[in-house]
Amino acid sequence: MKHIKTLTHEFVEHIPSDLDDGKIYVSMTFATAIHKCCCGCGQEVVTPISPTDWKLIFDGQSISLYPSIGNWSLPCRSHYWIERNMVKWAPQWSQKRINAGRDHDALAKKRYFDSNKMPTANTTIANLEVSKKGKSRKSIWQKLKKRFL
């Protein structure tokens, strides 16, 4: 089976019944994205967008989904990230790790619904910006250090 490395995205209101390979459909109305598994197995992968499921980032040209997509319930068990319309393949998880991840998801959902705080899109984006800046600052610092030491 051929692994898909890049995707195109399409914003739709309703999810079409026939999905194209290598295309991710995003419905804001239903807060859901759907695509055919990037391993080429043809299975449809639904990623609900919510504070406890996936987060969708649209930068004006491409989309990213966080966290990674682990198709544990599919026979292929593929695992990848969609980052700026690129598919980044991740190592497959063992059953133990899958179970641990499921526990973690359940806990995250419970925590979210226990607290009434609604994280807004703005805080998410702001946090991301901060962490990106922190990273680049660090790498510049490391470069400087290398040069002077």
Q: Which residues contribute to the site for Zn ion (CB under 5 A)?
A: 37, 39, 41, 76, 78
Q: What is the pairing mode between strands 8-12 and 23-27?
A: parallel
User: Please, what is the minimum distance in Å from the beta carbon of residue 38 to Zn ion?
Assistant: 7
User: Measured from the CB atom, is 66 or 89 closer to Zn ion?
Assistant: 89
CA angle at residue 67 from 62 to 72, to 5 degrees?
A: 115
User: Measured from the CB atom, is 2 or 147 closer to Zn ion?
Assistant: 2
User: Please, what is the minimum distance in Å from the beta carbon of residue 108 to Zn ion?
Assistant: 25
Residue whose tokens read 């299975």: 43
User: Please, what is the minimum distance in Å from the beta carbon of residue 71 to Zn ion?
Assistant: 6
CA angle at residue 145 from 141 to 149, to 5 degrees?
A: 175
Q: What is the pairing mode between strands 55-58 and 63-70?
A: antiparallel
User: Measured from the CB atom, is 43 or 124 closer to Zn ion?
Assistant: 43
